[in-house]
Amino acid sequence: MLIYEQSRSGRRATAQAPLTRAAVCAIPDRFRRKKAAALPEVSELQTVRHYTRLSQKNFSIDTQFYPLGSCTMKYNPRGAHAFASLPEFLGRHPLAPESGSQGFLACLYDLQQMLKQITGMQAVSLTPSAGAQGEFAGVAMIRAYHEANNDDARQEILVPDAAHGTNPASAVMCGYKVREIATGPDGDMDIDALKAALGPQTAGIMLTNPSTVGVFEQKIRKIADLTHKAGGLLYYDGANLNAILGKVRPGDMGFDVIHINLHKTFATPHGGGGPGSGPVGVSKRLEPFLPIPLVGKDESSYRWLNEEERPLSIGRMSAFAGNAGILLRAYIYAMMLGREGIVRVADYATLNANYMLKRLQEAGFEAAYPERRASHEFIITLKKQAKAHGISTMDIAKRLLDYGVHAPTTYFPLLVPECLLIEPTETETRQELDRFIEAMIAIRNEVEHTPDLVKDAPHTLPVKRLDDVRAARELDLRWQPEE
Amino acid sequence: MPFIPHTEEETQQMLETIGVSDIEALFDEIPPALRCGLLKEIPEGLSEMEIGQLMAARAKQDGQATCFIGAGAYDHHIPAAVWQIAGRGEFYTAYTPYQAEASQGTLQLLYEFQSMMTALTGMDISNASLYDGASALAEAVLMAVRANRQSKSRRILLPRSLHPTYRKVVKALVGNQGLELIELPFNPESGRTDLSALEPFTGEDIAALVIPQPNFFGVLEEVDQLTNWAHENKALAVGVVNPVACSILTPPGEWGEKGADICCGDGQPLGAPLSSGGPYFGFLCCRDKLVRQMPGRIIGRTVDKEGETGYTLTLQAREQHIRRSKATSNICTNQGLMAAVATIHMALLGAEGLERVALACHANTQQLSEKLAAIKGVEKVFSGETFHETVLKLPASSKAVLRALANHQLLGGNDLSDDYPELGNALLVCATEKRTDAEIERYASKLARILSGADDVLCQLHPKD
């Protein structure tokens, strides 16, 4: 039932608003609203009960194993939430003077420094609000760099065919054309295809490493050299940074610009779709173009670096300084990990992924890249099951929900048929991983003996399989009172 | 090991299963020359208690001054229930609702969010949030260019009365796509955008006119006239609105003869704490016919296979994960939790509660403005009617006065002397419903004292500062 359907005209949650209506209003009638907005009229208890019950219809990290590949659904430490929510931090106005903001600015400055170390880049800007905005900022810096060199012929960005959809979309938002590069049979980039694509029109290439197929791109130095020789720059999509934290750094691989998904690698919550945070790091040659504001330090005091100090900046991505509260959470998390904890993240994320891959292979599931080590994630393909029993990967994903596990990422990357991209993260116990494997084995039995059970899944959730086609055809995007 | 549950024994067993001797062997595909070794400059890890102590010390260092700044972020009361519910792990730690059957809580809530935002703005369609108000305006402008089939110009009119940072963000985000952004002057008497500012563009090919309500100065624009001008000139009307103000002002959907085509804004006043500028959320609403040009997630109501009502992500063919380089935007992660916050906030307050908040902010700012303008040398700059912010001119350096006020734990407003040098030593001030009579009185008396030279910071008050 919608909150609107619990509404009764004249009902109020009175304690939350000012107790009286201000008597004086100097706004002339021609500016005034004629009819009150159709918001629900409900009590505080109704509101609390309604949204508490809705929350119970969600899967979440706090309640379920959530091995969603490429999304790094690790535990979100409560301490990070608690300390970022201290009243002084919550109450600080974004335009408060620097003199009264030294504590806050110190946290941001320290986070910039740590992210530089972790990524091997020369400078970091924390301001992009999510990964895709970080990608935009990164590609915009590549563009600004070529423009500063009067190199206007570079109008093309290369992306692997297995790239996240945000990569080509971000390149287009920066006014570039996009050209796809094929992935070879071992999961690494097809170097001949790359050579054929590079040229004086190449502005840069966007890569994820480990790649979106869950393996470390071994020829990365070769790719970097070829691209740089052709005059292009390398962009690192940080979606998979969790796999290599403290092991190998994008700066050392030859990347010129990178974004980091703090809501993945640095354990900040996903909030049912956001907020995220997508800081960007750059090599020396791109530093002048970083988005503002940055945090600078003079002797012992911190200050914002704005247009005056950064005249070549690509500009501002948001009204203030991005998702500041998320930056504080990431800072707190990184400080709790420390230098040794940071490496352990990659260690145990990789251990968990390889353990799951091995056990699933032993149980007869087919790995997409059986000769390769898994990174922090891996792909299995269910094409055999699909062919033999007319079952789709989506059916199996939906059935997994009945077993109390969130489904892995389905049908991505598109080049592997009927695939599941599985990322357990380092914060899951072996017992949780075993339960997932047992569920997969049980579902495979169901596929063979009671396929309808799988095709009709889920059975135990608040709703049965939803009609997506109808949702798109008969658009119903808001509640309206009955006529 | 912080946040890692493995026992020594389990690790060994798992390595045996994989068939390697140690964890390091799992990284054997990384070329050894690329390995970085221990990152010595990262500090040693802290316990939860230790980082808690450090954060508490840093928070205390910043203190809690009394806030009279607005300029796009407003210090409103947030009902206690809002964050207690939104902070539940089931909302806080869920992902984007790709598996609809396992995400009905988030999906239904966002459907309610869309319903409430369209009710508040008078529009037909709302998406499920963007990053913030400024980036939402950039998306709105791009959307207008795609949607306005009668225009080939890619020219956008942006009033100078629009938030200066919003103008900068739009420039940064759309500048690479060949859009031309043209600034419109404001009337220096009233502080609003006159039709005469649009005169040079009458009959020209313009893709969209951006209309802020209230504008950056807090002044109410003649939105009906501006919207009609846009439509007479085949431009789309794009509103930029404050959602709390929407509860008492004509909603964008009812502006002029036909209503705005698109509206956007920052949702921060609906339950997001100031929090140094984020996370907030951007909202974007439009007319039915523009829905396929909308960027970002949209939730639709549908049925399951047994005919029961359910909710799901819809029209995904607009989005980057399906359409890639042809998508309406690159946005993926949005500000979902903040949309949840706003939904609970709006449910608790209702239309009547939001109106009370809006009227209280308006009345408090009126009171503040009168008290401050009564001080010798302080004047109201604009004659146009205002909502909950107003511009005051000072007889001394606005920067120095703000510094002096900050010494008294007062954030006295936003200095306009950099963005609007023609206004002289001008301050944009705001008093939300949270500001008490005593706080307003204290601001007035401190300002009077500082300006009279009685305060010991007199020596810093050079007009050129």
CB–CB contact B305 A456 (8 Å): yes
Exposure b/e, B317-342, CB count within 10 A at least 16 = b: ebbbbeebbebbbbbbbbbbbbbbbb
Helix (H, G, I), strand (E, B) or coil at B130: strand
Residues of B in Cβ contact (< 8 Å) with A309:
none
User: How far apart, in whole angstroms, are the C-alpha atoms of residue A350 and residue B24?
Assistant: 10
**pLDDT digit string (tens) for A68-97?**
999 999 999 999 999 999 999 999 999 999
Give the closest of A81, A267, A323 to B279, CB-based: A323
Residue ranges per structural domain of chain B: 66-74+351-460, 80-344
Which ipTM was obtained for this model? 0.98
**pLDDT digit string (tens) for B235-250?**
999 999 999 999 999 9
Distance from CA of A230 to the nearest CA of B (A): 22
Interface membership of B146 toward A (CB under 8 Å): no
Of how many residues is chain A composed? Answer: 483
Could you tell me which CATH class the domain B80-344 is placed in? Answer: alpha beta
Band of residue B453 on the pLDDT scale cut at 50, 70, 90: confident
Give the closest of A33, A92, A172 to B250, CB-based: A33
Domain A79-337: give its CATH architecture: 3-Layer(aba) Sandwich (3.40)
Burial tier of B63 (Cβ tally within 10 Å: 0-12, 13-18, 19+): middle
**CATH node for A344-469:** 3.90.1150.10
User: Mean per-residue pLDDT for A162-183?
Assistant: 95
CB-CB neighbours of B49 under 10 Å: 9
CATH of B66-74+351-460, one of 3.40.640.10, 1.10.10.10, 3.90.1150.10, 3.30.465.10: 3.90.1150.10
Residues of A in Cβ contact (< 8 Å) with B429:
none
**pLDDT digit string (tens) for A15-41?**
889 998 888 899 999 999 999 999 999
**pLDDT digit string (tens) for B258-282?**
999 999 999 999 999 999 999 999 9
Interface membership of A341 toward B (CB under 8 Å): yes
Is the pLDDT reported for residue B253 higher than 60? yes
Helix (H, G, I), strand (E, B) or coil at A206: strand
User: Which chain A residue shows the shortest CA-CA distance from B28?
Assistant: A373
Q: Find the distance separating the first CA and the last CA of chain A, reported in whole Å.
A: 19
Give the closest of A220, A339, A406 to B40, CB-based: A339
Interface membership of B56 toward A (CB under 8 Å): yes
Band of residue A197 on the pLDDT scale cut at 50, 70, 90: very high
State how far Cα B187 lies from the chain centre: 26
- What is residue B335's DSSP assignment? -
Residues of B in Cβ contact (< 8 Å) with A63:
89-90
Interface membership of B432 toward A (CB under 8 Å): no
Residues of A in Cβ contact (< 8 Å) with B344:
47, 51
CATH topology of A79-337 equal to that of A344-469? no
Beta-strand relationship, B125-126 and B155-159: unpaired
The torsion defined by the Cα of B42, B44, B47 and B48, in degrees rounded to 10, comes to: -10
CATH topology of B66-74+351-460 equal to that of B80-344? no
User: Mean per-residue pLDDT for B17-40?
Assistant: 96
- Window 180-209 of A: residues touching B by CB (8 A cutoff) are none
What pLDDT, on the 0 to 100 scale, is given for residue B465? 43
- Window 24-43 of B: residues touching A by CB (8 A cutoff) are 26-31, 34-36, 38-43
CB–CB contact A275 B314 (8 Å): no
Nearest to A54 by CA among B425, B343, B363, B5: B343
What pLDDT, on the 0 to 100 scale, is given for residue B454? 74
User: How far apart, in whole angstroms, are the C-alpha atoms of residue B421 and residue A230?
Assistant: 46
Residue ranges per structural domain of chain A: 3-55, 79-337, 344-469
CB–CB contact B101 A398 (8 Å): yes
What pLDDT, on the 0 to 100 scale, is given for residue A483? 65
What pLDDT, on the 0 to 100 scale, is given for residue B90? 98
User: Which chain B residue shows the shortest CA-CA distance from A27?
Assistant: B385
